[in-house]
Structure 1
């Protein structure tokens, strides 16, 4: 499948594309993803939709007088499910893009979960990682990297620098994928061929274009003059 080009100044597009690439990379390393969080979210959402549809159909067919008692409880249940869905997304999932485990000869059976986030107008990818270390303890890491590390100037995602970043910074992934371990910013470079780490971009760069004042504009309507030879 051909790579999808995105707008390089759209932080949500940069995040969503990276979020999609993360579980694809981990499952290619034989990490088994758990879909429990997604399944619960879908169940809550679809249940609320089904209740709303049944209530509408019953009211349309039987009329308000015959259905008003059941409509009251249906509406109450509908808002309860939507409240539970909101809590589940913000209180339980908390931006998780991957949750699962791996059973690998070099590490045994270990668990891993990764949640991602971005700040508005700031093209920096932030992740919170929880994993099981060699001693069986649960460790937490908070990592950040600019999107320019794995997106080129044209807006195409480049997988190798992204994989090297994850394998280098997260010990569990580095043990499972040693060929990408050690690919730091200086060695691996970025998708744009730069080794430096970008700093957060100011809001005005992504919000409003720079205004040109009259004093900055080049003078027009003038011609260069040369002196006449005698």
Structure 2
């Protein structure tokens, strides 16, 4: 006989003077909320950056093995190539992070509902405001894609509305605000 599952969420307490901790707690809370609503996370952004990193590391490992067996004069041309490939793949991963991924921290799909939701968050230095941007699109290749409001929905709110004075995360309030934002995002066009 297995132990019964405990459905209560763990208490999350953060340092309220750290915007980074507040943002991270909200990002994690959103991920948990979306997973509880049937969204499966897609790891495309991470996969692209990992592949680029592995390509650079593989070339450097081959260079190391080649340099181990043969003298430097015979292997220096391959060392130049492997270092250049490593630098190029690292630069491509950086450009991908800034140009494509940007502030997106969650991309998830719901097969039953037929759409993908992307969530990005940011904060500005010196402000106590969490800016959450939600976008959606139909799942690629679906025969009957639903019609969505194509405009992103932005939820902008002070961290104080989701955290108690002692730093405890008020997940019920956060989840209610996020749910209303997602409902607005998934509303069909009124045209």
* Same-fold status (TM-score > 0.5): yes
Partners of 1:9 and 1:63 lie apart in 2 by: 56
Residue equivalent to 1:32: 40
- Given the superposition, is the C-alpha separation of residues 101 and 53 from structure 1 closer, same or farther in structure 2, using an over 3 Å criterion? same
Residue equivalent to 1:153: 165
Question: Which of 45, 54, 74 is 1:66 aligned to?
Answer: 74
The alignment of Structure 1 onto Structure 2 pairs a total of residues equal to 172
Quick one: higher RCO (CA 8 Å, sep 6+), 1 or 2?
2
Cα offset, 1:137, TM superposition: 4.7
Question: Which of 128, 135, 147 is 2:147 aligned to?
Answer: 135
Q: Cα deviations across residues 41-89 of structure 1 (Å, max 9, x unaligned)?
A: 2222333334344434543553422220100110110111011101111
| Matched-pair contact (CA < 8 Å) for 1:166–1:173 | no
Query: TM-score normalised to the size of structure 1?
Result: 0.65
Q: Mind listing any 5+ residue stretches in structure 1 that lack a counterpart?
A: 176-230
- 1:115 equivalent to 2:120? Answer yes
Larger radius of gyration: 1
Query: How does 1:94-109 map onto structure 2 within 5 Å?
Result: 94-104=102-112, 108-109=113-114
| Matched-pair contact (CA < 8 Å) for 1:48–1:82 | yes
Residue equivalent to 2:25: 17
Query: TM-score normalised to the size of structure 2?
Result: 0.77
Partners of 1:140 and 1:168 lie apart in 2 by: 14
Q: Mind listing any 5+ residue stretches in structure 2 that lack a counterpart?
A: 1-8, 139-145
User: Runs of at least 4 residues of structure 1 off by over 4 A?
Assistant: 172-175
Partners of 2:85 and 2:96 lie apart in 1 by: 16
- Given the superposition, is the C-alpha separation of residues 168 and 81 from structure 1 closer, same or farther in structure 2, using an over 3 Å criterion? same
Q: Cα deviations across residues 154-204 of structure 1 (Å, max 9, x unaligned)?
A: 2222211111111122326788xxxxxxxxxxxxxxxxxxxxxxxxxxxxx
- Given the superposition, is the C-alpha separation of residues 128 and 71 from structure 1 closer, same or farther in structure 2, using an over 3 Å criterion? same
| Matched-pair contact (CA < 8 Å) for 1:96–1:116 | yes
CA RMSD of superposed structures (Å): 2.5
- Given the superposition, is the C-alpha separation of residues 84 and 21 from structure 1 closer, same or farther in structure 2, using an over 3 Å criterion? same
